[in-house]
Amino acid sequence: MAVEVRMPQLGLTMEEGTVSKWIKQEGDSVKAGDVLLEITTDKLTSEVTAETEGTLIKIVAQEGDDVPVKGVLAYIGAPGEQVGGQAAAPTPAAAPTPAAAPAPAPAAKKPAGETTVAVIGGGPGGYVAAIRAAQLGGKVTLIEKNKLGGTCLNVGCIPTKALLHAAEAISEAKEAAAYGINVEVKSVDWDKVQAKKSAITNQLVSGVTGLMKANKIKVVEGTASFASKDTLTVVKKDGTKENMTFDKIIIAAGSIPAVPPIPGVKENANCVDSTGALSFEAIPKSLLVIGGGVIGIELATAYSKFGTEVTVVEAAPKLLPMMDGELTAQMRKIMESRGVKIMTEAKVQSVEAAAVGAKVQVEVGGKVQAFEAEKVLVAVGRRTDTEGLNLDAVGIANDRGRITVNDKMETNVPNVYAIGDCLGKVMLAHVASAQGEVAAENALGEDAVYNGATNPSCVYTDPEFAGVGLTEEKAKELGIAYTVGKFPLMANGKSLIMNGGVGSIKFILGKEYKEVLGVHILGPRATDLIGECALAIGMEATVEDIIATIHAHPTVTEAVREAALAAEKRAIHIPNK
């Protein structure tokens, strides 16, 4: 029976390839491994080889034809064997289901400076969208109800990293003795830590303010809601109300901390969300963290270094559920070795008042145990901040406040776009920024598409944790055949110098074509190293592309190449198994 030769998927972002040259012709005998043809994508040229022995009985796709991934290119069979008597038509790949019905074609593009654009929200998604729209000639108004920079700059990414950096300084001072440098950490001036954090935040917010002026973007301080499909009602901070009409509207309303329905949480002043945990009046002696996701683990890391006794309670079987399971388990061991108590598959039943601050009842292992802590950080995630937008009144599709868009960031309402956390999917600042650029470009007549395949996830623990692409668990779930390459940072000179060689790097590769499907890093500077790996996925790179790239020595990044070599059993600095 004839065997189909199909268009391979050489990377996560590949949707189709072009037949550039047939090496074999109809009637030629082929053996398994023979090169049949060359294909090209917009990023690389590759060879397609035969998987079986036989005769190339029918070529379906001619040179120059574009064929979707998994589409039929040819048939291999016995000499003279027919394939339905006719050339088989290429089998199309399944079309992705759009998240929302495509919006109608936009009206003709207005001349530069005449298209009015509103951006609701001035966070990393909103202000980036505003700047990009202005660059493309839009007349832009940004409406922000709190502070420019949004959660990220004011009460999220930046202040959290400022606290983590201060905590790291304590660790470095203590570890300096191993290098013969004796530093005594007498105390932590918490007021100065908070002041430095605020100064950094204020500087960045001021920078965003300057960018608004430089790009001639009008900033309105107030709360916006939809009066109609093209008109916003804005209640300004001075109490006045104004209706504003725009050609295009980009929603970047962001998110707020989720509050779980745990009895006693709302009533206890010692229970705080991530915003409260960034501004404690003093370093707490004890802290119980409800939630083992990114926010909870980062703040647990920071406060444990400040000397706080930290307990983490996570309902799922592991910490950081979306990250690679093997490296997450390593991260847990590292945290526990430093005194952080971690309970997984544990559920908080209630919070009560206690002399120390709070008593938390936790069900773990079938039993309920009581834990007392001075402060309780509730970090179970975030929810969209869209309640006041009046979405339903104008028919903007949403799922309980989570706005629905397609890959152009268009809602179902013409000329209305949405980006970032208010979509309720991947709540990361860099995702919001990327989506903001896409939305702005489409609003101003460009043709842009958002593709999250190269989106890295970063956790600023010690050591840092970062990943991009598929985890091993996800590859198994999708039924993708894969191979793994791992390299322990104990064998990397720079890592050994920086943190004693704690951590490792892990590659997930497609088994047949050796394309990079995912990379996961636990180690020093992981959040910086992941950029190379995201680029590899975006470029549809194979393991040989990583190996062929010379990496500087001594650096942590050369361990990325070693992990790639390990996948091919070619690692230089560890034994190959």
Residues acting as catalytic residues: 553
Distance between CA atoms of residues 380 and 358, nearest Å: 18
The separation between the first and the last C-alpha atoms of the chain, rounded to the nearest angstrom, is 39
> Which residues are within 8 A (CB) of 261 and not within 5 positions of it... i.e. 6 or more apart?
none
573 three-state secondary structure:
coil
Residue type, 236: K
222 three-state secondary structure:
strand
Tokens of 8: 């391979």
On the CB side of 555, CA atoms within 13 Å amount to 12
Q: What is the DSSP letter of 352?
A: E
Distance between CA atoms of residues 431 and 421, nearest Å: 9
Burial of 499 (0-12, 13-18, 19+ CB in 10 A): buried
DSSP H helices in 479-541: 493-499, 526-538
How many residues comprise the chain? 577
- Whether residue 75 contacts residue 60, with contact meaning beta carbons closer than 8 Å, is answered with yes
Give which of 117, 7, 9, 15 is closest to 451, Cα–Cα: 15
Give which of 279, 5, 27 is closest to 155, Cα–Cα: 279
